[in-house]
Amino acid sequence: MEMPLYGGGTTTSSDQTSLHPAPSMVLSGEADGDYPPVLGYEDAKHICYIESSKLWAIAGPIAFNILCNYGINSFTNIFVGHIGTVELSAVAISLSVIANFSFGFLLGMGSALETLCGQAFGAGQVDMLGVYMQRSWIILTVACFCILPLYIFSTPILKLLGQRHDIAELAGKFSLQVIPQMFSLAINFPTQKFLQAQSRVGILAWVGFVALIIHIGVLYLFIKVFGWGTAGAAAAYDVSAWGVALAQVAYIVVCCKDGWKGLSWLAFKEIWPFVRLSIASAVMLCLEIWYFMTIIVLTGHLDNPVMAVGSLSIW
């Protein structure tokens, strides 16, 4: 006759343990590897809390860094909006069409590093992270030179796309002035992926926050104090972009001794497979980012493009 679970019989502590295992590791959060079977709502809630905390510890700083990067663009538009409506529309088109095109392409190219750095870090080959990062620097720098004609000939390109001539002229001038910012992305994106692969994301948040604060101050200095107009906005944009890139490199050189072993000739080996992986990553990501560029271009065909593009840039 089977022994009842509750009442009507005597059970030993060992029987109770086998019938009702207590997931002590789940409740304490000290599980190493997979969690024991979840036997109740409290266990599920506790595991959800543990995993959510781990996720936010990584995703939170990355999200904050992205917000700071968008803040740099937004405050650039805000300060230029105090110069004039035509200037605002021109800068908005330059940042949203020309710069956004290169941003999407280079970010996609740099995203190939996520796969390789993640594999190397997971396999314990941390020293290869620095080699992969340098290889990505080389490829993205070459890609910048390939994109350079887009900046140089941005005025006729924008006119060809139907933008108003005075806006296209000023946007083309601004695009030439922010060419240094494009080259900073060739350093910025690989260093970001290098740090993210090792979950060193706190530094990204701090660098982004400090860069945003400094960018606002530099914008005020160049536009309000020196009166440099859109040229001052472009200069502030370049300074902030290179400040972020160099700050991340400095952190890697000083604090990431395991992954950074100095410059290496290995970065020049197996370039072509890396290029193919980078291009594949770029194609997947570009279509997602470039849609806003299309909206800005179409907005330039409205009856009042100055007001429409300026309003959309602030939005």
Q: Are 265 and 100 in contact (CB under 8 A)?
A: no
The number of C-alpha atoms within 13 Å of 114 and in the hemisphere containing its C-beta is: 10
Residues of the chain under the 70 pLDDT cut:
1-33, 288, 292, 300-315
User: Phi/psi of residue 280, each to 5°?
Assistant: -60, -40
Chain position carrying tokens 């396999």: 123
Q: Are 181 and 95 in contact (CB under 8 A)?
A: no
Give the residue among 42, 9, 8 at the shortest CA–CA distance from 24: 42
**pLDDT for res 315:** 56
**pLDDT for res 183:** 96
What are the tens digits of pLDDT across the range 279-301?
877 777 777 677 767 777 777 66
Chain position carrying tokens 């409290």: 42
What DSSP designation does 97 have? I
**pLDDT for res 208:** 95
What are the tens digits of pLDDT across the range 33-73?
677 787 788 778 888 888 888 889 888 999 999 999 999 99
Using a cut of 0.85, tell me whether the model's pTM lies above it.
no
**Residue 50 host element (H or E):** helix 41-81
**pLDDT for res 284:** 73
Give 293's contacts (C-beta < 8 A, 6+ positions apart): 96, 97, 100, 101, 104
**pLDDT for res 279:** 84
**pLDDT for res 9:** 45
| C-alpha 170, offset from chain centre | 28
